Amino acid sequence: MLKIGIVGCGGRMGRMLLRQTLETDGVRLIGGTERPGSALVGQDLGVLAGADPIDVTVTDNPAALFAAADAVIDFTRPEATLAHAALAAETNTVLVIGTTGLEGADIDRLRDAAGRTRIVQAPNMSAGVNLLFALTRQVAATLGIAFDIEIVEHHHRHKVDAPSGTALGLGRAAAEGRGVDLDAVSDRGRDGHTGPRADGHIGFAVLRGGDVVGDHTVVFAGPGERLELTHKASDRAIYAHGALRAARWAADQPNGLYGMADVLGLG
């Protein structure tokens, strides 16, 4: 029985992770944390998840959680995630990271921590989205520069980062397919008299509004035809399912930094 802890358990995604952990065979919810001073500290995790009490309460002590858990799932913020990675390295605890907004230097720090534990980091834990990453890479490589690539994403009005981590992941997949560096060809905003589209650029368009869980479309627009690859998420449970799958998979792996492509066997 894999002992699971959830950091940031009081947020929308944290509560979903609590519920899915309670409902998943082969794992046991042993703790959850929130920030010091949070009104949720001391609340029963089962009640917080919308279920029956389990006599395990929210704490503000992530160090104790990492020491007790076999795996911890983290959908928080970059600064918190980096601190959690250090704790995972100290305790040799599996860490599954769905936090978005991580930059290149942050990934380097995760890679360092993964030398002493197992970390799975992905901008999106959905099986469908990770298949979309693989398809985007393949299509970009096949169609070549004759096709313009635009990535459109739509999320709920409360999302704080843009473009989404998933959209950037799709951009990286497209750039890898073309054998280029995304930072060198990324176009993240157009306003005013921009001139014609630059050849080879990968564009991003961001929509925010309502309660949209997450919609992503990769558009390949070529001469006389257009191909669109789309994934629409209607339930955050898909991310929780993926995170728990990653935790169970990583528990049997050697130390290292992994992605969901590794977990799903997508190479």
Catalytic residue status for 201: no
Known binding-site residues for NAD(+) equal 8-13, 34, 98-100, 122-125
Known binding-site residues equal 8-13, 34-35, 98-100, 122-125, 156, 165-166
Known binding-site residues for (S)-2,3,4,5-tetrahydrodipicolinate equal 156, 165-166
From 154, 155, 216, 231, active-site residue: 155
Catalytic residue status for 3: no
Contacts with 255 (C-beta within 8 Å, 6 or more apart), sequence order: 114, 115, 116, 117, 118
Each as own residue / partner, the long-range contacts of residues 10-16 (CB below 8 Å, 24 or more positions apart, any chain) are 10/34, 10/38, 10/40, 10/48, 10/58, 11/75, 11/76, 12/236, 13/75, 13/98, 13/236, 13/239, 13/240, 14/75, 15/48, 15/49, 15/50, 16/236, 16/237, 16/239, 16/240
Known binding-site residues for NADP(+) equal 35
From 84, 154, 158, 159, active-site residue: 159
Catalytic amino acids? Answer: 155, 159
